[in-house]
Every structure is written in structure tokens, then in C-alpha cells.
Amino acid sequence: MENPSEANDEGITALHNSICAGHFDIVQFLVEFGCDVNAADTDGWYDICYFPESIRAVVCRTIRSECLQLYSV
């Protein structure tokens, strides 16, 4: 896969789709793989907007943890 963050015509990425479908194991894989967690669709919605509010905090902590691991040198 050349660009895991590549979007379709509506700006939807694999990460967006995985979130909407509730495939959180795939979400974790894509984040670890390096998908752009700040990608917005054509309506301006970011990945985190797609998560149900009840689990948004857990996902934010996971994404933050992954980002800190990626950028700590």
C-alpha cells in the first residue's frame, strides 16, 4: 500500500470507514501503520468525529499514545 491515508472522492479514508463500521482492531492497525489521524473528509469531519461519544476518550488516548511513541526520539 503506497498511501494508507489516501481518500476516495468524498474524502473518506480507510480509517474513516473502519471507525464507522466499528472495526476497532483495524483502526488500531491503521493508526500504528501510520494513517493520518488528522485527515478530514470533504465535509470537514475528522476521524475522531466518527467515533461514538461513549468511546471517543478511549480512542483519543490510544491515538495519542501511538503518536507519542512515533515521535519520541
pTM: 0.65
Mean pLDDT computed over every residue of the chain: 75
* Domain presence at residue 7: no
pLDDT band at 68 (very low <50, low <70, confident <90, very high): low
Q: Residue 56: which CATH number?
A: 1.25.40.20
Q: What domain range is 58 assigned to?
A: 14-71
Give the chain's domain count: 1
7-43 burial, b for 16+ CB within 10 Å, e for fewer?
A: beeeebbbbbebbeeeeeebbeebbeeebbbebebee
pLDDT for residue 39 is more than 70? yes
In the chain, the amino acid numbered 56 is R
